[in-house]
Amino acid sequence: MNLHEYQARAILESYGVPVPQGRVASTPQEAQTIAAGLGGPVVVKAQVLVGGRGKAGGVRIAPDANAAAEAAERILGMRIKGIQVRRVLVGRAADILKELYLGLVIDRSRRQAAVMASSQGGVEIEEIARTMPEKIVRVGIDPFLGLLGYQARELAFGIGLEPYLLREFVALASGLWRAFSETDASLLEVNPLAITPDHHLLALDAKMVLDDNALFRHPDLASLRDTSEEDPREHEARELGLSYVRLNGSIGCIVNGAGLAMATMDVIKLEKAEPANFLDIGGGAQADRVAAALRIVLSDPGVRVVLINIFGGITRCDEVARGIVAALQQTGVSVPLVVRLVGTNEEEGRRILAEAGLVAVSSMREAARQAVSLLQSQAPSAAAEEKEG
Amino acid sequence: MSILVNADTRLLVQGITGREGAFHTAQMLAYGTKVVAGVTPGRGGEQVHGVPVYNTVKEAVAAQQPNASIIYVPAAAAADAAMEAIDAGIPLVVCITEGIPTLDAIRVYHRCRERGARLIGPNCPGIISPGQAKVGIMPAHIHRPGNVGVVSRSGTLTYEVVSALTNRGFGQSTSVGIGGDPVIGTSFVDVLALFEADPDTKIIVLIGEIGGSDEEQAATYISQHVSKPVVGFVAGLTAPPGRRMGHAGAIITGSSGTAIEKIAALEAAGVKVARSPEEVADLVAQIDP
């Protein structure tokens, strides 16, 4: 789960990490009040869960409260990568002597959390890694000991920090680590971490991603989820416990298992069409889940053919077949359906489908071929939209 | 021969009285796996399908000497269950549970390293050595004893490939699901080393997916240490960046972890990479006609 900057900075603040004074606003009036309270120049920043807001004009500096209201007026409601801005963060503008980078990540191959620091802040860490890999210092964190003082000092010296900032840097790094581990984060980036002219460190921006699998033990953090930026179908799927990602193609997919769902999308592409979505109904899916999945996929207006691919192991083919038939009866399916059904109780599943006038194929490649040929036999506009998608 | 599990495996089932645990215990027993004990705290003294249940792993170990454990405990308690098995000295811990917090999985992995235990998973279908033992949730009937070693990050995608292999007459020495989470106990490289050393494995099938760099590390290892032919498949060529594709570990971050990179790395190491799951069996047939 991605957090907004204003949410992440509140968490950092509670762990003693210095952040600029500021508050979040959802109207120009609120932005004005906040700016007036802060006094002096402020930065007004769009709060959206996509990157690139600076380039899109979503970050503006305002010399006073009236200018802050104007800036908020311009930013609120604008769209950044298709996402409407609903809130802005109004923060005191800071003078900057130098910009650093400090981030915590999960290092998958070493199976540990790691801190990365760089003297080259203000640009993306991937960019630094590509152009100046020698400017990144990394330390791995022992899961039982946490970030040790000497490791934080190694980072500080590694990025050439002046000794007078050492104590402050070590405190800040250990605060970041505690915030990371105690919230079960999977990413926590402070970029830039500024050195101010009065020789202090200040976290000017914060990016935080929490581990969805750990939210059960952080109900306070789970409630921070902003669903307003989510595709409504993805939201509904998540509520139902289905894993769904919307794409831009024309062939809707319903599959059991994440790996098989990805492979199904790939085989559709191999047959020269585009998948409309990723959807994993999970193991042992019951008829009602299949019906719910079909409803979600069909609610996407781009879907012109639906391909259902089930490899029955724990999932029983007869249950899936009942779900398909139930969905056909409840909602009425307006697009052609291709069903590939093999495995546990396959015969019974085929019989149930046959009674409803559906034929199941047994090969995945053949199912994709049929789906693509059904797509191509539709109105020519379908093929044209496919290309645009 | 086979790797990891065989006819001598004495299995403990953690979470044996739960719906999943009880169901799969019956399935594993039916396959001939020696399920010698189960653990559910507070249910000691009961039996599940004739298997004695204990309150703690320590008691189960003292009474039945299991040499492997499989975990069906819900996510919130699964890491603790794994720690209990490791600390009781069980050398092989297979964790089926999906949804374990990553920081918990990291601690379990490092505890395993300290104690010399091996963790398979989490979020995996388990291990089967056809004809000898099934320690997992995979449908047994699609497998046949044979000489193809299968290792995969996925569940049903593995069944798909195994089924295609069996239909073409290629049995399996062992099929290992290493799990779809970002942090897993045993990587492709670990399993490749086991298959390379296993005299009954003649061909290796590796099924990867987007996210992380396990496939790239496998490619490096294959080019340096694996003499047996390897056939691969990598799922997720059409997956968009930044989105989690079902598995917690299946996500392209920035520009890294893409299927294109992984396929290129594997092909550069001499791996024949199939374009669809069904094609895996065709490529195996080309190697062993």
In terms of domains, do B84 and B225 share one?
no
Residue ranges of chain A that CATH labels 3.30.470.20: 98-222
Check whether residue B84 and residue B159 sit in a common domain.
no
CA A139 from centroid of its chain's CA atoms: 26
User: In chain A, which segments carry CATH 3.40.50.261?
Assistant: 230-388
Put simply, whether A256 touches B (Cβ < 8 Å) is yes
Residue B56 domain flag: yes
Q: What is the CATH number of domain A230-388?
A: 3.40.50.261
B216 and B282 fall within a common domain: yes
Place of tokens 């949730």: B137
DSSP state of B67: S
How close A109 comes to chain B (CA, Å)?
A: 7
Q: What pLDDT does residue A60 have?
A: 96
Q: What is the pTM of this model?
A: 0.93
- Looking at the complex, report in whole angstroms how far the Cα of residue A182 sits from the nearest Cα belonging to chain B: 10
CA distance A203 to A193: 5
Say yes or no for a CB contact (<8 Å) between A109 and B214: yes
Between CA A293 and CA A328 the distance in angstroms is 12
**Nearest residue, CB atoms, B102 vs list A213, A260, A280:** A213
DSSP per-residue string spanning A204-272: --EEEEE-GGGGGG-HHHHTT--GGGS-HHHHHHHHTT-EEEE-SSSEEEEESSHHHHHHHHHHHHHTT
CB contact under 8 A, A258 and B245: yes
Residue B277 has pLDDT above 50, yes or no: yes
Residue A386 clears pLDDT 60, i.e. is over it: no
The Cβ-side half-sphere exposure at A389, using a 13 Å CA radius, reads 23
* Catalytic (active-site) positions of B: 247
Q: Residue B242 is which amino acid?
A: G
Based on the domain organization, do B152 and B103 belong to the same domain? no
| CB contact set of A96 (below 8 Å; sequence gap of 6+) | A192, A194, A195, A196, A197, A204
- How long is chain A? 389
Secondary structure string (H, E, C) spanning A120-175: CCCCCHHHHHHHCHHHEEEEEEECCCECCHHHHHHHHHHCCCCHHHHHHHHHHHHH
In a shared domain, residues B155 and B252: yes
Contact A260 B160 (CB under 8 A): yes
Percent of chain A that is helix, strand, coil (3-state, to 5):
40, 25, 30
CATH number for the domain spanning B150: value is: 3.40.50.261
* Alpha helices, H only, chain B: 19-31, 57-64, 75-87, 102-115, 156-167, 188-197, 214-225, 259-268, 279-287
What residue type is assigned to position A98 of the chain?
Answer: K
Q: Specify whether B161 is located in the same domain as B89.
A: no
User: Is residue B3 included in any domain, yes or no?
Assistant: no
Among B88, B120, B152, give the residue marking a domain's end. Answer: B120
Q: Does residue B179 belong to any structural domain of this protein?
A: yes
Number of domains composing chain B: 2
Check which CATH number belongs to the domain holding B23 and give it.
3.40.50.720
Nearest to B200 by CA among B149, B134, B126: B149
Same domain, B201 and B274: yes
Q: Name the active-site residue from A6, A101, A319, A346.
A: A101
Per residue in B223-243, pLDDT tens?
A: 999 999 999 999 999 999 888
Question: What is the end-to-end Cα distance of chain A in Å, rounded?
Answer: 27
What pLDDT score was predicted for residue A383?
45
User: Cα-flanking dihedrals φ and ψ of residue B88, to 5°?
Assistant: -85, 0
Question: What values do phi and psi take at B93, rounded to 5?
Answer: -120, 120
Across A302-318, average pLDDT: 88
- Pull the structure tokens for residue B281: 């069996």
CA distances from B147 to B154, B166, B205, B207, B278 (A): 21, 11, 11, 17, 18
| Cβ atoms of A66 and A90 closer than 8 Å | no
The domain defined by A98-222 folds into D-amino Acid Aminotransferase; Chain A, domain 1 (3.30.470)
Distance from CA of B123 to the nearest CA of A (A): 11
Do B21 and B99 sit in the same domain of this protein?
Answer: yes
Tokens of A26: 């959802």
Domain-located, residue B62: yes
Residues 102-131 of A with CB under 8 A from B: 106, 108-109, 111-113, 124, 126
Residue B224 structural domain? 138-287
What is d(CA B280, CA B207) in angstroms, rounded to the nearest whole number?
9
State which residue of chain A sits closest to B138, comparing Cα positions: A313
Enumerate the CATH 3.30.1490.20 domain ranges in chain A, comma separated.
21-92
Chain B residues close to A274, C-beta within 8 Å: 238
Residue B134 belongs to what H/E stretch?
A: strand B133-136
CB burial of B221-233 (b: ≥16 within 10 Å; e: otherwise) equals bbeeebebbbbbb
B178 and B94 both lie in a single domain: no
Contact between residue B28 and residue B71 where contact means Cβ atoms under 8 Å apart: no
Tens-place pLDDT, residues A330-385: 777 789 999 999 887 889 999 999 998 888 898 999 999 999 999 999 865 544 44
Across the interface, whether the CB atoms of B182 and A186 are under 8 A apart is answered yes
Say which CATH class A21-92 falls into: alpha beta
Q: Does residue B186 contact residue B120 with C-beta atoms inside 8 Å?
A: yes
ipTM: 0.94
Q: Calculate the CA dihedral of residues B46, B51, B53, B56 and round it to 10 degrees.
A: 170
- Secondary structure element (H or E) that encloses residue A38, with its range: helix A28-38
Reported residue count of chain B is 289
Mean pLDDT along residues A83-87? 94
Same domain, B154 and B281: yes
Whether residue A263 contacts residue B276, with contact meaning beta carbons closer than 8 Å, is answered with: yes
Which residue's structure tokens are 């520009």? B255
Write the DSSP assignment of B188-200 as a string of letters: HHHHHHHHHH-TT
CA distance to partner chain A, nearest, from residue B168 (Å) = 14
* pLDDT, chain A, mean: 92
* Residue A184 contacts B, CB cutoff 8 Å: yes
pLDDT tens-digit map of A19-61:
999 999 999 999 999 999 999 999 999 999 988 888 899 999 9
- Selected for mutation to probe chain B from A107, A123, A191, A213 (highest B CB count within 10 Å) is A213
Q: Write out pLDDT tens, residues A123-182.
A: 888 888 888 889 999 999 999 999 999 999 999 999 999 999 999 999 999 999 999 999
Residue type at position A228? S
Residues B26 and B72 in one domain: yes
Inter-residue contact B197 to B247 (CB < 8 Å) = no
What is the spatial distance between Cα B53 and Cα A246, in angstroms, rounded to a whole number? 45
Q: Is the pLDDT of residue B132 over 90?
A: yes
Cβ–Cβ pairs < 8 A, chains A and B: 176
Chain A residue whose CA is closest to B139: A313
- Quick: pLDDT tens for A219-246: 999 999 988 888 889 999 988 889 999 9
Whether the Cβ atoms of residue A6 and residue A89 lie closer than 8 Å to each other: yes
Instruction: Label residue B100 by pLDDT band (50, 70, 90).
Output: very high
Asked if the Cβ–Cβ distance from A259 to B237 is below 8 Å, we say: no
A27: burial class by Cβ within 10 Å (0-12, 13-18, 19+)? middle
In Å, how far are A166, B165, B184, B285 from B289, measured between CA atoms? Answer: 66, 13, 35, 5
Query: One of A5, A30, A189, A274 is an active-site residue; which one?
Result: A189
- Between residues 265 and 324 of chain A, which touch chain B (CB distance below 8 Å)? 265-270, 274-275, 278, 280, 283, 311-315
Residue B85 located in a structural domain:
yes
> Is B225 inside a domain boundary?
yes
User: What pLDDT, on the 0 to 100 scale, is given for residue A382?
Assistant: 47
Taking an 8 Å cut-off on Cβ atoms, the answer to whether B245 and A278 are in contact is: yes
